[in-house]
Amino acid sequence: MHDKIIAKKDLDSFVRSLAQSRDVFAPVRDKASMGWAQIDSADNLEFDFLNTDFSPKAFFFPQNERLMHFTNSSRDEDGMIMEEEPPRDREQVLLNIRPCDAKAFCVLDLVFCQDENAPDVYWKDKRDKTVLIGLACKAPCPTCFCTSVNCGPHHEEGLDMLLVDLGEDLLARPLTDKGQELAADLQDAPQEAVDQAAGQKKASEEAITSTVDMSKINERPVLEEYEHPYFDRVFEACINCGTCTFYCPTCHCFDIQDETQDEFGHRVRNWDTCMSWLFTHHTSGHNPRGTKKDRVRQRFMHKFKYMPIKLGGAIGCVGCGRCTRKCPVNIDVRTVVNSMNE
């Protein structure tokens, strides 16, 4: 597949053509923060931003999602029988998604679609109907450490197309058939643009100076890592607020609840967090993760030990740094991982 080029001044027609048959979303500025919003032109598109506050995981895994509905009446012949919510009727495009957030979807595919014959249909339906057009990182945040967790500022995994900001123009690299199709009308990029993008990739990678080392975590047996004395210290500052889990692009724990009103009923799923004591609380009163230490340890063990074991080496972290930026008590995931690795 050839790299293509698109002038920023021509982006508007590109976005408008995308939006004809699809819902197009992109990071747009909302006062001091960046958030995802639907767009139908290139008017509000931004190219100088770090990353969105929230990860885009809600596009495939909404914070609240109806899974099924039922008629809440046992007198009704069809009552009390769950029916699936209908699938998505339109394709969507996530434009200018950061490579780390796209990589996170690849990690989550391994979780939600672990069973080929019975995948999480709600996740898969939206994944199948979405095109991801990434925007490579020019100036990474000081909290970024993607390069030490199988990712990077120009990482291509999970994207259909990668855009690299070259100033007046964008280099557009189609990565899949879907991306190829969208780039069909674009001109081939001249060699100097391709070279410029390569130079930018190298510079961005070099700009990421913070790293984590998981070599010892990987080698140690589960129980040895679980009993690491470091866990006696890290939990003390944590207030179990769960902010890290909601901002994290790979945190995917959820609760399922039924809601009824008169004759209508729904089964919904909501984001949940392993930081909550209720998360694992048995009806009997017993709680397998009854202490704050248990819960803090679970989050880090899950991402950096359990997921790699279960998912063929895939780490439950893409190095986006959101948890570190948002933590109210300044727990830095890089310090945690490096300490777990001691």
Partner 1 sequence: MNNPYLPYPVRIQRVEIATEDKSLRTFDFEFIHPEHAEAFTYLPGQFAELSVPGYGEAPIGIASSPTEGSHLTFTVSKAGVVTSKLHSMEEGEIMGVRGPLGHPYPLGEMEGKNIVILAGGYAVTTLRSTMVWLLHPDNRDKYGEITFVYGARTPGMLLYKDLLEEWDARSDVNTYITIDNEVEGWDKYVGFVPQIADQVSPKPDNAVALVCGPPVMIKFTQPVLDKMGWTGDQIIMSLENRMKCGVGICGRCNVGPYYVCKDGPVFTKAQLDELPKEY
By CB under 8 A, the residues from 177 to 236 that bind partner 1 are: 221-223, 226
By CB under 8 A, the residues from 247 to 266 that bind partner 1 are: 252-258, 260, 265
Q: What is the DSSP track for 172-197?
A: EEE-SHHHHHHTTTSEEPPHHHHHHH
One residue of 7, 198, 237, 309 binding partner 1 per CB under 8 A: 309
CA distance linking residue 227 with residue 221, whole number of Å: 10
Site track 84-103 with partner 1 (rule: CB under 8 A), x = hit: x-------------------
Query: Pick from 313, 311, 300, 312: which is nearest to 341 by CA?
Result: 300
Paired strand residues for 255: 270
Cβ at position 27, least distance to partner 1 in Å: 27
Q: Which stretch binds partner 1 (CB under 8 A): 193-201, 205-213, 233-241, 295-303?
A: 295-303
Residue partners of 310: CB distance under 8 A and separation at least 6? none
- Measure the CA angle with vertex 128, ends 180 and 246; round to 5°: 115
Q: Which stretch binds partner 1 (CB under 8 A): 50-58, 174-182, 231-239, 298-306?
A: 298-306
Cβ at position 21, least distance to partner 1 in Å: 24
CA distance linking residue 107 with residue 188, whole number of Å: 32
Q: Does 139 bind partner 1 (CB under 8 A)?
A: no
Footprint of partner 1 (CB under 8 A): 67-68, 70, 72, 74, 79-82, 84, 111-112, 114-115, 117-122, 124, 221-223, 226, 252-258, 260, 265, 267, 269, 272, 274, 279-284, 288-289, 294, 298, 301-302, 305-307, 309-310
